[in-house]
Amino acid sequence: DGGITQSPKYLFRKEGQNVTLSCEQNLNHDAMYWYRQDPGQGLRLIYYSQIVNDFQKGDIAEGYSVSREKKESFPLTVTSAQKNPTAFYLCASSIDPLDTQYFGPGTRLTVL
């Protein structure tokens, strides 16, 4: 079955700690994305990658970092510099940046 997986589903972090959210896809898509969603809000783009070893900042990249060493994987690190990291994080992928995006199930991050 092709799809996108995100782990973990729920994540708790203490203030001051970095944490990495996993995103893996087996759809052979070139482009991958990370979004943040706050309660009752729409999606905001954190980072995107159009191809392996390349990524670009989205609208709210401060306090986050990514890597794209493999086509299948696009992990997101939420650093201690992110002032308000508690949110729902969604990963997506698409054949190219203008095509339909397909989403993973999301990771709900809570900072204690």
Six-digit token string for 21: 């959210």
Task: List, as one string, the DSSP characters of 8-33.
Answer: -SEEEE-TT--EEEEEEE-S--SEEE
Per-residue contact flags (x/-) with another protein for residues 10 to 49, judged by CB under 8 A:
-----------------------x-------xxx-x--x-
Backbone angles phi, psi at 17, to 5 degrees: -100, 145
95 scored as a contact of another protein (CB under 8 A): no
Peptide bond into 75 cis (omega under 30): no
Q: Does 105 bind another protein (CB under 8 A)?
A: yes
Does 106 contact another protein by CB under 8 A? yes
Q: Min. distance of Cβ 54 from another protein in angstroms?
A: 12
Size of the site for another protein (CB under 8 A): 22
| CA distances for 15 relative to 47, 88, 106, angstroms | 22, 17, 21
Asked if 67 interacts with another protein (CB under 8 A), we say: no
Shortest distance, position 83 Cβ to another protein, whole Å: 22
Question: Considering beta carbons, is residue 5 or 28 the nearer one to another protein?
Answer: 5
